[in-house]
Structure 1
Amino acid sequence: MARLLARLGRFSARRPWLVIVGWVLALAAAGGAYLFSGAQLATGFSIPNTPTQQVTDKLSAELDGVGGAVGTVVFQTDDGGAFTAEQQAEISSVIASTGDIDGVATAVDPFDTALQQAALEQQLASGAPGLENAATLYDFASEIRTVSDDGSTAVAAVVFDDTLTDLAPEVKNAVAAELDDAGIDGVTIEYSSEIANSLEGLVGVGEVVGLLAAALVLVVMLGALIPASLPLVSSVLGVGVGVAGSLAFSGVVEMASVTPVLGVMLGLAVGIDYTLFIINRHRRQLKAGADVRESIALANGTAGNAVVFAGATVVIALLALNVTGIPFLGVMGTVAAACVLIAVLVAVTFTPALLGLVGLRVLSKRARAKIGHPDHVALAPKAMPTWRAIVAVVAAVGILLVAAIPALSLRLGLPDGSSEPEDSTQYRAYSIVAEEFGAGTNGTLVVVAEPETAVDADDQVAVMDLQVQIEDVLMAQQDVVAVSPAGVAADGGLLAFRVVPVDGPSSVSTEELVGALRGLSPIDSADHGDIQLGVAGAASGNIDISQTIADALPIYLAIVIGLSLIILVIVFRSILVPLIATGGFLLSLFAALGAVTAIYQWGWFGEIFGVHDPGPVLNFAPIILTGVLFGLAMDYQLFIGSGMREAFVHGAPARVAVTVGVRSARAVVIAAAIIMISVFGGFVFSHLAMVRPLGFGMAIGVLFDAFVVRLLLMPALMHLLGRFAWWMPKWLDRMLPDVDVEGASLERPALRPGVHTVPAGQRAGSPSLPVKSPAQHR
């Protein structure tokens, strides 16, 4: 692989315009495919065969207008007074026109519902015989209102034909446009996330600031604008090809709205890092006096080889999300893996082409003036003091364990309207409904009852009698505010009810209520036998998805750990180094989950991170963080560990090799980590509620893994282990392939940055100095 990459780097440096034009054409093709197909992103999440999905499928098949997604529209007077007759008429007109949009099953006028309730109240007050069941049903539903007590707020429901997962963006946009253009004097209109455009805020100010911070780091590290611009150009090109190409398939494969954002985050971060690693190696060689094209080839064969293996670990970890059996996670992993793969390809082809064009200008003027100067060759290092290693281990483990404590109380869920930015229509709609009609109105559940013996759907008395039996059981449950009938199947074999809980959809009490309602099944009925109950609705669906993901996380984690051990054993030809690397990854992962829990669930530093209503952690955040942080942790492990192994096999004592590896990669790892933190951190302030915890989790995870684990804990443990760190059974050593991740087979003494057997205080780098072979070292 190293020799192939060296040849590829040499070719790209000699034919730069051919390579650059090829990638520009690839970008144009991806962009054209995206524009031709258009992005069709799902705003909801579903997992086949969950209890909620099974109930939803039944509702869609047997009851029109019940199984589809339901959006909430809130009308509120600006002055706080009751709606005038003219305003009511205009609201009714808007709702009627909304109901006529293709893809909308029905739109419920809040004033029609209020009038029906008033008429029923008068009828019940008359005391006419035979209305006992109707009176009971009315009492059970009395807390369900569509117009507030003071008459200043009204809530309308827009019921779509399709579920939230299948709902076409065009339908949502049409409804949103109808509402935005209503222009009712003295009335403000807000609507829920089921209607709001899911792509709003895909790239915002925070993301741009993060990219600018990354650019600043590059300028500081590389000392000039030209070399600093190369990683940015390469990463943006890779992201463009990867994300546009992936979106082109969104019409064929169901893709969640957060999927391209993950591709952008990873594509930018790893694209910058991988390019930077190759450029850094090339610059070191140029400073030592190497020929430009030969240095490009060598950098591509050595640093590029490490990039390929590092990228391969990220790709494998992301593709492994498909084994969870959760479709939307599999698609997210596949798209992110494709973006990372393209970033690797860009790094080992496009980057050498750019380096070939800029030539020696990849160095600053000051550095060019001192090419070949002894100052460019570092003194042979000494091993760190053992006491410092012990302190580093204790401090690093202590920091990570303390940071991980909040993860013990981790709750998973999907964000509701309370998690949206305070200036968004989704948040305002959610808040108004909670304040005027109760928090549970935002998390209405749908309960389906299937009697063993069907009821005669044409016999209203029999239907109401059965409805009363079922609702009486439902109302007896703790945290139920109201229950109302939602429909009866034509054959009488299925009845639907709307259940309003006390609290919102992401609350603990609602989660417990869903479990309690399912635990009621079956209900015994003298006339209809056993009645099976099922629960659906957005809140129920989120609970099921969260539970499914939580169940899949240990399996996925086991797969990732297994991959980590296998890959690292092959790369480093050691048993203990992989164990150290994997153990460090687990510590940084749980520390990152603890930090995410503290911020987004506990609400710590909420004002800084825009967490105004703490709630459960995004349910797929832990599993995504596991895959991404594993890959990035292996990146840093390879960058630092390969330097240690290279020094060790060339004859340096084991503890000195640790210092050599850290010093050779420290600058680029620190810069790469800061860049990743900047890019990911920019998404912490995204307008998309699902993106913010992902951005924060990745940023804090990189912070822990790069600075605490890879630069502090891992070198200290390697020092304490000494030569034993590189121990491996001879029989296993003979079985493993020689992947040469350091590209040692390409090294020539004249180009080698330094020889590590020189006594302390003597300049290194002379090609005539003796270097032990790996065989002699053993």
Structure 2
Amino acid sequence: MAKYLYRLGHWSARNAKLVMLGGFAVLVAFALLALSLGPAFNDNTSIPGLKSQAAIDLLNKEFAGPKEDGGQTRLVIKAPEGQTLSSETSQAVIQKTLKEIVEDTQVKSVAGPYDNQSLNADKTIAYMDITYKIPAGEVTEASREHITAVAEGMRFSDWQAELTGSAYVQMKIMGPSEVIGVLIAFLVLSITFSSFLLGVLPIATAVIGLGIGLLGVMIGSNMLDIPSTSMALAAMLGLAVGIDYALFIVSRFRQQLAAGYSSRESIAIANATAGSSVVFAAITVIIGLAGLAVVNIPFLTAMGLAGAFCVLLAMLTSIILVPAVLSAVGSKVTASSGNKWLKTRKRMNANRNRLGHFVTSKPWTIVILGMILLGVIALPFSHLQLGSSDDGLKSTEKTERRAYDLLSEGYGEGFHSPLIVLAVAEGDGDFMTNVSSGLKNLEAIPNIGTVSPAIPGPSGEVALINIIPATGPHDKETTKLIDAIRDQAPDILEKNHVEFMVTGGTAVNLEISQNLSDALPKFCLIIVGLAFLLLMVVFRSLLVPVKAVLGFILSLAATFGFVVFVIQDGHLGSVFGFYGAGPVLNFLPIIVVGILFGLAMDYEVFLVSRMREEFKHTGDAKQAVLAGMGHSGGVVTAAGLIMISVFTGFMLAEDPIIKSMGFALAFGILFDAFVVRLLIVPAVMTLMGKSAWYLPKWLDRILPNLDIEGESVMKELERNAA
């Protein structure tokens, strides 16, 4: 592989203008196609085989009404202090508000509080439902500004008016907070390279690759069912790895310049050596993300493939476009910074070797303290609770969070966790009488708030019952209520000849969370097994892969433990911008496993491959560890800081889903790169000594040689020079 990448690097350097023009042309072509097709994301998170999904299918068949494709916004209102919504003054204000809402030509219909009968018990809180003529994702900013102005007008009259709904609340993929992460990455790169020009280069090439990747995902949404959250995941991942991959290649380019090679030759060597590591790293991340398909959850598979596509684009950009850009700016680099870079490298190597000498001098202490630290952080993982995100986890500064709280105040927490029970005839007797008898069996179940009268369907064999729990969607008692109803269903069927089926958004989300929780161990086992096989091929060793896998498991457990501690248990939530304790996002653990697997193996390869190269030359295991820390420790440090910076930018986002993904990945990199790879790994390698590189001869003969270090290319160059 290294030889092909060497030739590719030479070709890109020779044809720099053509390559850069081609990259820009691909970006423009994707942009034009994406604009012509438009996005068509599908946020359906159903899973085949769910009990609740079968009930939804029956519900849609039996109670099918006119299909509503228009986006909806809900305006939640509360009367001024001392007034009720039934007074003449309040009715006049509401009628005036309804007239103002329909002034927007995009509004199809409005259901006022007297039409939808939404007045609460004391008639102080109600809501209006606005339906648009177009889907939620196509509702214009002008329409959102119009309804915002209507709400502001009510607030000026001492009313409380808050907005929520799919047509109003829009997910922002990139915002000011994400830009902060990119700026920090730029500072890290500029310091690493002692050059603002080379600090910009990895970011610029990463942005181009990311742009093509995101546009490709947008185009793909017209052909596949891709959820909108895929864009956020693909954006943070594509940007982070794109910068890191370019960093590896540019860093090796500078090393070759300092060693006396020409600019073009340095580019080709960098592409052959660091580029090989980039390709391997990208493949591991892609495998981890594409491996999400094994859990057989469609929306998760789509998210994984979207992320994998952006990682693929980041890798191709790094090995094709980065060499071309380096060729274009290479003269500026060699003219002024060759000797300076060499001195800087020597100084940085000396500083890094302080850490290397410290770790190798006290390996037992480092290993024990590191394992205790991560083990303690991992403890909360034992009570992980998965769930879905909603407006109740947002900041109170957001109108949708205030609308959530206002609805809870008016109708109870259970308003956000409604359940639908379908009663299906399964025997003789009067159907509705049997349903009523069956409902009496549910009266003894605790936590049921209100139960609506059964509504018979057209067939006369299905009835619909709405149940409002006394607790909210994130409360464990709500889960117990669903389980209790399902546990009672067989007895009701036997005694009353009616089958009770539980569904609704809350039931579906809880069942999805349970399925994802059940799939996590299976996915982890696949990933761990794959990591062992890949590293055994790369390092020609049995113990190094075992050490790497155990380190990955340790950092993964610490990551989940800290996520549970902050997000679920509510500790330090205000420090990291979380505004209330709630369950961990149901698909977050599997996503984090897939991503951290690839990134952890990335750092492992970059660090340990240098140790292997040194050991093959000297046979000194301790010196090999020092060489690995000295030559690659700084690059791994910079790469880790860049990853953390980018993910932190997403952690500062407003949307709870994006925030939780950014938070988990930022601390996952912190634990893996800075505790496991830079401390525990070299300490364990020191303790293992020469045995770290043991591999049976028969196994060595049958394993393929991937030449990740580009050893064949360097040997050929040395022969040619001789």
Q: Same fold (TM over 0.5)?
A: yes
Separation in 1, partners of 2:554, 2:344: 43
| SS, match of residue 453 in structure 2 | strand
Q: Residue by residue, what CA displacement relative to the aligned partner does 1:463-494 show, whole Å, maximum 9, x if unpaired?
A: 4x455334333333110110113632101111
Question: In the alignment, is the contact (CA less than 8 A) between 1:193 and 1:417 conserved in 2?
Answer: no
| SS, match of residue 57 in structure 1 | helix
| SS, match of residue 110 in structure 1 | coil
Question: In the alignment, is the contact (CA less than 8 A) between 1:593 and 1:697 conserved in 2?
Answer: yes
| SS, match of residue 609 in structure 1 | coil
| SS, match of residue 41 in structure 1 | coil
Larger displacement relative to structure 2 (601-610 or 340-349): 601-610
Q: Residue by residue, what CA displacement relative to the aligned partner does 1:46-66 show, whole Å, maximum 9, x if unpaired?
A: 212211111111111111359
Matches within 5 A, 1:484-495: 484-485=452-453, 487-495=455-463
Q: CA deviation at 1:371?
A: 6.3
Separation in 2, partners of 1:203, 1:219: 23
The 1:65/1:404 distance shift into structure 2, 3 A limit, reads: farther
Separation in 1, partners of 2:343, 2:382: 55
Question: In the alignment, is the contact (CA less than 8 A) between 2:107 and 2:130 conserved in 1?
Answer: no
| SS, match of residue 442 in structure 2 | helix
Q: CA deviation at 1:688?
A: 1.3
The 1:194/1:378 distance shift into structure 2, 3 A limit, reads: closer
Separation in 2, partners of 1:298, 1:17: 20
Matches within 5 A, 1:487-566: 487-524=455-492, 529-566=496-533
Q: Amino acid of the residue matched to residue 58 of structure 1?
A: L
The 1:80/1:57 distance shift into structure 2, 3 A limit, reads: farther
Matches within 5 A, 1:464-479: 465-466=433-434, 468-479=436-447
The 1:351/1:157 distance shift into structure 2, 3 A limit, reads: same
Separation in 2, partners of 1:349, 1:394: 43
Unmatched 5+ stretches in structure 2: none
| SS, match of residue 478 in structure 1 | coil
Separation in 1, partners of 2:521, 2:131: 38
Identify which of 672, 681, 686 aligns with 1:714: 681
Identify which of 384, 404, 407 aligns with 1:433: 407
Unmatched 5+ stretches in structure 1: 115-145, 457-461, 753-766, 769-778
Could you say which residue in structure 1 is the equivalent of 2:668? 701
Question: In the alignment, is the contact (CA less than 8 A) between 1:215 and 1:232 conserved in 2?
Answer: yes
Q: Amino acid of the residue matched to residue 562 of structure 1?
A: G
Could you say which residue in structure 2 is the equivalent of 1:669? 636
Matches within 5 A, 1:124-143: none
The 1:12/1:366 distance shift into structure 2, 3 A limit, reads: closer
| SS, match of residue 465 in structure 2 | strand
Q: CA deviation at 1:446?
A: 0.9
Identify which of 211, 222, 244 aligns with 2:182: 211
Q: Residue by residue, what CA displacement relative to the aligned partner does 1:562-605 show, whole Å, maximum 9, x if unpaired?
A: 11011101100000000111110010011000111111001111
Separation in 2, partners of 1:175, 1:480: 39
Could you say which residue in structure 2 is the equivalent of 1:343? 314
Could you say which residue in structure 2 is the equivalent of 1:111? 114
Identify which of 379, 385, 400 aligns with 1:411: 385
Identify which of 151, 154, 176 aligns with 2:126: 154
Question: In the alignment, is the contact (CA less than 8 A) between 1:278 and 1:304 conserved in 2?
Answer: yes
Question: In the alignment, is the contact (CA less than 8 A) between 2:363 and 2:683 conserved in 1?
Answer: yes
| SS, match of residue 362 in structure 2 | helix
Question: In the alignment, is the contact (CA less than 8 A) between 2:434 and 2:497 conserved in 1?
Answer: no
Q: CA deviation at 1:156?
A: 4.6
Question: In the alignment, is the contact (CA less than 8 A) between 1:475 and 1:481 conserved in 2?
Answer: no
Q: Amino acid of the residue matched to residue 170 of structure 2?
A: S
Q: CA deviation at 1:684?
A: 0.9
Matches within 5 A, 1:57-456: 57-65=57-65, 73-77=75-79, 81-83=83-85, 84-90=90-96, 109-112=112-115, 114=117, 146-156=118-128, 169-170=137-138, 179-180=147-148, 182=150, 185=154, 186=157, 187-199=159-171, 201-362=172-333, 365=336, 367-368=338-339, 387-453=361-427
Q: Residue by residue, what CA displacement relative to the aligned partner does 1:267-320 show, whole Å, maximum 9, x if unpaired?
A: 111111110011111101111211111111111101111111111111111110
Separation in 1, partners of 2:307, 2:685: 33
| SS, match of residue 82 in structure 1 | coil
The 1:640/1:390 distance shift into structure 2, 3 A limit, reads: same
Separation in 2, partners of 1:559, 1:661: 29
Could you say which residue in structure 2 is the equivalent of 1:637? 604
Question: In the alignment, is the contact (CA less than 8 A) between 2:76 and 2:128 conserved in 1?
Answer: yes
Separation in 2, partners of 1:147, 1:695: 40
The 1:434/1:156 distance shift into structure 2, 3 A limit, reads: same
The 1:329/1:560 distance shift into structure 2, 3 A limit, reads: same
Q: CA deviation at 1:85?
A: 2.2
Q: CA deviation at 1:702?
A: 0.3
Separation in 2, partners of 1:373, 1:693: 38
Matches within 5 A, 1:579-594: 579-594=546-561
Q: Amino acid of the residue matched to residue 421 of structure 1?
A: S
Q: CA deviation at 1:747?
A: 1.2
Q: CA deviation at 1:100?
A: 11
Separation in 1, partners of 2:262, 2:294: 47
Could you say which residue in structure 2 is the equivalent of 1:7? 7
The 1:272/1:313 distance shift into structure 2, 3 A limit, reads: same
Separation in 1, partners of 2:111, 2:454: 13
Separation in 2, partners of 1:385, 1:550: 37
Could you say which residue in structure 1 is the equivalent of 2:614? 647
Question: In the alignment, is the contact (CA less than 8 A) between 2:239 and 2:646 conserved in 1?
Answer: yes
Could you say which residue in structure 2 is the equivalent of 1:55? 55
| SS, match of residue 640 in structure 2 | helix
Identify which of 567, 585, 588 aligns with 1:600: 567
Separation in 2, partners of 1:701, 1:740: 29
Could you say which residue in structure 1 is the equivalent of 2:709? 742
Question: In the alignment, is the contact (CA less than 8 A) between 2:426 and 2:497 conserved in 1?
Answer: yes
Q: Residue by residue, what CA displacement relative to the aligned partner does 1:430-482 show, whole Å, maximum 9, x if unpaired?
A: 100111221111111111111214887xxxxx74x455334333333110110
Could you say which residue in structure 2 is the equivalent of 1:772? none
Identify which of 556, 573, 583 aligns with 1:616: 583
Separation in 2, partners of 1:99, 1:39: 23
% identical aligned pairs: 37
Separation in 2, partners of 1:53, 1:158: 27
Could you say which residue in structure 1 is the equivalent of 2:26? 26
The 1:262/1:307 distance shift into structure 2, 3 A limit, reads: same
Q: CA deviation at 1:420?
A: 2.3
The 1:68/1:367 distance shift into structure 2, 3 A limit, reads: same
Question: In the alignment, is the contact (CA less than 8 A) between 2:233 and 2:303 conserved in 1?
Answer: yes
Paired residues in the alignment total 708
CA RMSD of aligned residues (A): 3.2
| SS, match of residue 534 in structure 1 | strand
Q: Amino acid of the residue matched to residue 95 of structure 2?
A: A
From the CA coordinates, give the structure whose radius of gyration is larger. 1
Q: Amino acid of the residue matched to residue 239 of structure 2?
A: L
Separation in 2, partners of 1:108, 1:469: 35
Could you say which residue in structure 2 is the equivalent of 1:132? none
Q: CA deviation at 1:503?
A: 1.1
The 1:448/1:523 distance shift into structure 2, 3 A limit, reads: farther
The 1:472/1:644 distance shift into structure 2, 3 A limit, reads: same
Q: Residue by residue, what CA displacement relative to the aligned partner does 1:664-688 show, whole Å, maximum 9, x if unpaired?
A: 1111100010000000011112121
The 1:721/1:373 distance shift into structure 2, 3 A limit, reads: closer
